[in-house]
Structure 1
Amino acid sequence: MSINYVLNKIGLIMIPILGWNLIVFIPKIILKKNENGYFEAVLGSLIQKGFFFQFWFLGALIIMLFLVPILNKIMKSSIKLYVIVLIIFLIISWLIDLYNHFSGAIPLQKNVIQTFRVWTWISYYMSGGLIGNLIKKINFIDFKKQLNYFSVVLTVLTIIYSIYNAAWISNPFAEYNYDNILIFIWIVTIFLTCISTTKFSKHSTKIIESISKYSFGIYIVHVIALKIFEKVFVFDGIFINLITIIGVFLISWLITFVISKIPYVNKLVIF
Structure 2
Amino acid sequence: MNNNILASKQASKQASKQASKQASKQASKQASKQASKQASKQASRNYNLDLIKILACIAVVGLHTLHKDISIVNQSLYYICGFAVPAFFMSTGYVLLNRDGVHNNYSWNKIKKILHVVFLWSLLISISYLFWRVIKNELNLQVLIVLPKTFFGGLIQRGYLWHFWYMGALIIIYAIYPLLMRYRKRLTLIWIISAFVGVLIQITSYIVGIPVQRYIIQTFRLWSWIQYFVLGGLIGSHNNKEKVSIWKRAVVCILMNLSIVVYQNVMGKTFLHNSYAEYFYDSALTIIWLISIFYFILGLTLDTNVKSLIQNIAPITMGVYLTHPLVMRVVQHFVFVDSLGMSFVYFFAVLIISSICVFAMRKIPFVKRLVEL
Of 43, 46, 64, the residue aligned with 2:173 is 64
> Structure 2 counterpart of 1:40, which letter?
K
The structure showing larger relative contact order (alpha-carbon pairs under 8 Å, at least 6 residues apart) is 2
Structure 1 runs of 4+ aligned residues shifted over 6 Å read none
Q: Which moved more, 1:230-239 or 1:250-259?
A: 230-239
Paired residue for 2:227? 123
Asked whether 1:21 is paired with 2:131, we answer no
The residue type equivalent to 1:213 in the other structure is P
Check whether the contact 2:265–2:275 (CA below 8 A) recurs between aligned residues: no
2:102 matches 1:11? no
- Among candidates 221, 232, 247, match of residue 145 of structure 1: 247
Shift of 1:27: 2.8
Match of 2:182 in 1: 73
What is the Cα deviation at residue 235 of structure 1?
Answer: 4.5
Cα offset, 1:170, TM superposition: 2.0
The answer to whether the 8 A contact 1:141-1:197 is kept is no
Displacement after TM superposition at 1:166 (Å)? 4.0
Q: Which is worse superposed, 240-249 or 148-157? A: 240-249
Shift of 1:253: 1.0
User: Which residue of structure 2 lines up, in the alignment, with residue 196 of structure 1?
Assistant: 299
1:114 and 2:218 correspond: yes
Paired position in structure 1 for 2:330? 228
Say if 2:169 and 2:222, in contact at 8 Å, map to a contact too. yes
Q: Which runs of 5+ in 2 are unaligned?
A: 1-101, 134-138
Percent identity (aligned): 29
Which AA in structure 2 matches 1:92? V
Decide whether aligned partners of structure 1 residues 99 and 207 sit closer, same or farther in structure 2, where only a CA change above 3 A counts.
Answer: farther
Deviation of the 1:171 alpha carbon? 2.0
Amino acid at match of 1:101: Y
Mapping of residues 1-271 of structure 1, within 5 Å? 1-30=102-131, 31=133, 32=139, 34=143, 36-75=145-184, 78=185, 81-104=186-209, 106-135=210-239, 139-143=240-244, 144-168=246-270, 169-202=272-305, 204-236=306-338, 238-271=340-373
Per-residue deviation at 1:183? Answer: 1.9
Whether the 8 Å CA contact 2:224–2:282 is kept in 1: the answer is yes
- Residue 172 of structure 1 aligns to a residue in which SS? coil
- Give 1:58 deviation, angstroms: 0.3
Deviation at 1:201, TM superposition (A): 4.2
Q: Which runs of 5+ in 1 are unaligned?
A: none
Deviation at 1:244, TM superposition (A): 3.2
Give 1:132's aligned amino acid: G
Task: Verify the 8 A CA contact 2:324 2:351 in the aligned structure 1.
Answer: yes
Q: Is the 8 A contact 1:260 1:269 kept in 2?
A: yes
Structure 1: how far apart are the matches of 2:261 and 2:331? 23
Per-residue deviation at 1:263? 1.3
TM superposition score normalised by structure 2:
0.65
- Aligned partner of 1:44: which letter? G
CA distance in structure 2 between the partners assigned to 1:216 and 1:167 by the alignment = 33
Provide the rounded CA distance (Å) in 2 between the counterparts of 1:153 and 1:116.
32
Structure 2 CA distance for aligned equivalents of residues 231 and 267 of structure 1: 28
User: CA 1:12 to 1:229, structure 2 compared with 1: closer, same or farther past 3 Å?
Assistant: same
How far apart are 1:172 and its partner, in Å? 3.1
Q: Over the residues paired in the alignment, what is the CA RMSD in angstroms?
A: 2.1
User: 1:240 deviation in Å?
Assistant: 4.1
1:6/1:66 contact within 8 Å kept: yes
